Structure 1
Amino acid sequence: MPLIFVIFISVRTGGSTIVELVFRPRVLDLLINTLLLVVTTLPLCVALGVGLAWLTERTHLPGRRLWSLLVTAPIAVPAFVHSYGWISLLPSLSGLPAAVLVSVLAYFPFLYLPTAAALRRLDPGIEDVAQSLGLTPTKVFFRVVLPQLRVAISGGALLVGIRLLAEYGLFAMIRFDTFTTAIFDQFQSSFNGPAANMLGGVLALLCLLLLVMEFGARGNARYARVGSGTARDQRLWALKGPLKLLACAVPAITTVLALGVPLLTLGKWLMAGGIEAWLNADLVSALGQTLMLAACGALLTSLAGLPIAWLSVRSPGSLTRLLESCSYFASALPGIVVALSLVTTTINFARPIYQTAITVLLAYVLMFLPRAIVSLRAGIAQAPVELEDVARSLGRSPIHALRLTTMRLAAPGAAAGAAMIFIAISSELTATLLLSPNGTRTLATGFWAKSSEIDYAAAAPYALLMILLSLPLTWLLYSQSKRVAGR
Structure 2
Amino acid sequence: MRRLPKSYPFAFLIAALAILPLSVLFVLAGDSAEFFDTHNLRVLGNTLALVTLTIVGATLLGVPLAILTTYVHLPWRKLWLILLAAPLAMPSYIGAFTLYFALGPGGEIESLLGIPTPSIEGLWGSALVMSLYTYPFVMMTTRASLLSLDGSLINAARTLGMSLPASLLHVVLPRVLRSIAAGALLAALYALSDFGTPAILRLDTFTRVIFVEYNAFGLSQAAMLSIQLLVIVGLVLFVESTIKGNTERPGRPLCLWPARWQKVLMLGATLPIIILAIVLPLAIFVVWLIREGVGNFDISYAWNSAYASLLAALAAVILAVPVAHAAISGKAGRLMERVTYFGFGVPGIVMGTALVYVGLQLPVLYQTLGLLVIAYVLRFLPLAVGSVRTTAERLDPSLVKAARVLGASPREAFRRITLPLTYRGMVAGAALVFLEAMRELPATLMLGPTGFETLATYMWRVYEAGYFGMAAIPGLLLVLLSGLGLAIMLTGEGRSGYAMKEE
TM-score, normalised by the number of residues in structure 2 = 0.75
Provide the residue aligned with 1:287 in structure 2. Answer: 302
Letter in 1 for 2:150: E
1:116-265 → structure 2 map (5 Å cutoff): 116=143, 122=148, 127=150, 138=168, 141-142=172-173, 146=176, 150=179, 156-188=183-215, 190-218=216-244, 235-240=254-259, 244-265=263-284
Letter in 1 for 2:368: T
Q: Which moved more, 1:435-444 or 1:154-163?
A: 154-163
Provide the residue aligned with 2:10 in structure 1. Answer: none
State the Cα deviation string for residues 412-431 of structure 1 (Å, max 9, x = none): 9x94x666544332222222
1:11-26 → structure 2 map (5 Å cutoff): 11=30, 13=31, 18=33, 21-26=34-39
Shift of 1:353: 4.3
Letter in 2 for 1:469: L
**CA separation of 1:155 and 1:169: change in aligned 2, threshold 3 A:** same
Alignment partner of 2:243: what SS? helix
Letter in 1 for 2:471: A
Shift of 1:82: 0.7
Letter in 2 for 1:109: P
Provide the residue aligned with 1:104 in structure 2. Answer: 131
Shift of 1:258: 0.6
Q: State whether structure 2 residue 373 is matched by structure 1 residue 361.
A: yes
Shift of 1:81: 1.3
State the alpha-carbon separation in 1 of the partners of residues 310 and 142 from structure 2: 25
State the Cα deviation string for residues 191-220 of structure 1 (Å, max 9, x = none): 11222211111111111110121122237x
**CA separation of 1:74 and 1:443: change in aligned 2, threshold 3 A:** same
Which of 313, 324, 338 is equivalent to 2:338?
Answer: 324
1:48-59 → structure 2 map (5 Å cutoff): 48-59=61-72
State the alpha-carbon separation in 2 of the partners of residues 184 and 128 from structure 1: 50
Say whether the 8 Å CA contact 2:96–2:200 is kept in structure 1. Answer: yes
Letter in 1 for 2:79: L
State the alpha-carbon separation in 2 of the partners of residues 442 and 94 from structure 1: 26
Question: Over aligned residues, Cα RMSD in angstroms?
Answer: 4.1
State the alpha-carbon separation in 1 of the partners of residues 220 and 206 from structure 2: 14
State the Cα deviation string for residues 316-335 of structure 1 (Å, max 9, x = none): 79x8568536634x444443
Say whether the 8 Å CA contact 1:98–1:174 is kept in structure 2. Answer: yes
Say whether the 8 Å CA contact 2:435–2:482 is kept in structure 1. Answer: yes
**CA separation of 1:249 and 1:68: change in aligned 2, threshold 3 A:** same
* Rg larger for: 2
Shift of 1:355: 3.3
Provide the residue aligned with 2:116 in structure 1. Answer: none
Q: State whether structure 2 residue 80 is matched by structure 1 residue 67.
A: yes
Provide the residue aligned with 1:435 in structure 2. Answer: 447
State the Cα deviation string for residues 68-87 of structure 1 (Å, max 9, x = none): 11122222222211111111
State the alpha-carbon separation in 2 of the partners of residues 212 and 470 from structure 1: 29
**CA separation of 1:389 and 1:473: change in aligned 2, threshold 3 A:** closer
State the alpha-carbon separation in 2 of the partners of residues 388 and 448 from structure 1: 45
Alignment partner of 1:127: what SS? coil
Say whether the 8 Å CA contact 1:72–1:109 is kept in structure 2. Answer: yes
**CA separation of 1:215 and 1:299: change in aligned 2, threshold 3 A:** same
Structure 2: runs of 5+ lacking an equivalent: 1-19, 105-118, 160-166, 405-412
State the alpha-carbon separation in 2 of the partners of residues 374 and 249 from structure 1: 38
Shift of 1:375: 7.3
1:274-423 → structure 2 map (5 Å cutoff): 275=293, 278-280=294-296, 282-301=297-316, 304=319, 320=334, 324=338, 327-328=341-342, 330-348=343-361, 351-369=363-381, 395=402, 415=428, 421-423=433-435
Say whether the 8 Å CA contact 1:57–1:116 is kept in structure 2. Answer: yes
Alignment partner of 2:298: what SS? helix
Say whether the 8 Å CA contact 2:57–2:128 is kept in structure 1. Answer: no
Provide the residue aligned with 1:478 in structure 2. Answer: 490
Say whether the 8 Å CA contact 2:152–2:254 is kept in structure 1. Answer: no
State the alpha-carbon separation in 1 of the partners of residues 174 and 82 from structure 2: 28
State the alpha-carbon separation in 1 of the partners of residues 487 and 474 from structure 2: 21
Alignment partner of 1:292: what SS? helix
Say whether the 8 Å CA contact 1:211–1:325 is kept in structure 2. Answer: no
Shift of 1:312: 7.7
Alignment partner of 1:258: what SS? helix
State the alpha-carbon separation in 1 of the partners of residues 400 and 361 from structure 2: 50
Say whether the 8 Å CA contact 2:182–2:243 is kept in structure 1. Answer: no
Shift of 1:154: 5.6
**CA separation of 1:462 and 1:392: change in aligned 2, threshold 3 A:** closer
**CA separation of 1:104 and 1:33: change in aligned 2, threshold 3 A:** same
Say whether the 8 Å CA contact 2:344–2:382 is kept in structure 1. Answer: yes
State the alpha-carbon separation in 1 of the partners of residues 54 and 385 from structure 2: 23
Provide the residue aligned with 2:162 in structure 1. Answer: none
Alignment partner of 2:150: what SS? helix
State the alpha-carbon separation in 1 of the partners of residues 205 and 283 from structure 2: 28
**CA separation of 1:215 and 1:313: change in aligned 2, threshold 3 A:** farther
Q: State whether structure 2 residue 93 is matched by structure 1 residue 80.
A: yes
Q: Which moved more, 1:133-142 or 1:447-456?
A: 133-142
Shift of 1:98: 0.7
State the alpha-carbon separation in 2 of the partners of residues 130 and 302 from structure 1: 45
Provide the residue aligned with 1:272 in structure 2. Answer: 291
Shift of 1:433: 2.4
Provide the residue aligned with 1:95 in structure 2. Answer: 122
**Percent of paired sites with the same residue:** 29
Shift of 1:111: 3.7
TM-score, normalised by the number of residues in structure 1 = 0.77
Provide the residue aligned with 2:114 in structure 1. Answer: none
Letter in 2 for 1:127: D
**CA separation of 1:128 and 1:333: change in aligned 2, threshold 3 A:** closer
Shift of 1:272: 2.4
